[in-house]
Amino acid sequence: MSKPPRFFILSEQISGTQIFIAGEDVHHITTVLRMVPGRLLILCDGKGMEYTVRIAKVGRTEVITEIESETKRGPFYPRIVLGQALPKAEKMDFIVQKATELGVESIVPLVTERTIIKIKDGQKRVTRWQKICREAAMQSNRIDIPNVTSITPFRNFIMTLEPEPFTLNLLPWEEESRRIKGVLQNHQGINKVNVLIGPEGGFSIAEVKIAMAREFNLVSLGPNILRTETAAVSVLSIIGYEYHRDVGR
């Protein structure tokens, strides 16, 4: 039997034993999925609470559900922060989607020395990426939605990172020979990983030196030079494989 469809809600949509669904999700539930009263849904508040609900009433602008059970699920470790230099065209849409599927906690769009695109309508872009995160989180069975921050200069992001225990900082770089696998295996018990991915032209020497001064480990992803979107997916997949802990999902 397939699992019930999953949607995200806000805490204010919960009233006693009922949860009220409005907005675009109503169209998806009623028109796309053709759900009717009596059918089950999974609703998540994005903060770890997961509700199994049964549809009680379907309207044109609202779906009313009754809570049948609820579960509190813990966070997923390690928490991953992806600092992604902005790529050209629509590549960032792809990166945001796949990073969500691969479990990142937050995504920081970065402007670096070699960032090519001109930043226009920055907040509009961030809103679009946050929507992509939400859709990807629903499709990949996540209990939470990654946060996409405002577009940030590389140096500002680096300088605001506070040292935390059990945290590993990684910067894949084409001129580094130390393989990422060995670095991960030498850092066990990690709770958080900060990852920096450069733009099409890579990070500048100056940026690499700044990152190293902030205790970032330079690592190699292999002998081939990867596209920025491939590098992001590759490093997140490797981290997931090496550090996966079955908590919160």
H helices present in 19-121, as ranges: 24-27, 91-101
Output the CATH code of domain 6-72. 2.40.240.20
pLDDT at 40: 96
Q: Does residue 249 carry a pLDDT above 70?
A: no
| Dist CA 173 CA 197 (whole Å) | 9
Q: Does residue 71 carry a pLDDT above 70?
A: yes
Q: Does residue 247 carry a pLDDT above 70?
A: no
Among residues 58, 59, 47, the alpha carbon closest in space to that of 12 is found at 47
Strands (E), 173-215: 192-197
According to CATH, where is 3.40.1280.10 located in the chain?
Answer: 79-243
For residue range 186-209, list pLDDT tens digits in order.
998 899 999 999 999 999 999 999
According to CATH, where is 2.40.240.20 located in the chain?
Answer: 6-72
pLDDT at 248: 43
Whole-model pTM: value is: 0.87
Cα 15 from chain centroid (whole Å): 29
| Dist CA 248 CA 240 (whole Å) | 14
Q: Which CATH number fits domain 79-243: 3.40.1280.10, 3.40.50.1000, 3.40.190.150, 3.40.50.1820?
A: 3.40.1280.10
pLDDT at 120: 81
| Dist CA 249 CA 236 (whole Å) | 17
The answer to whether 180 and 219 are in contact (CB under 8 A) is yes
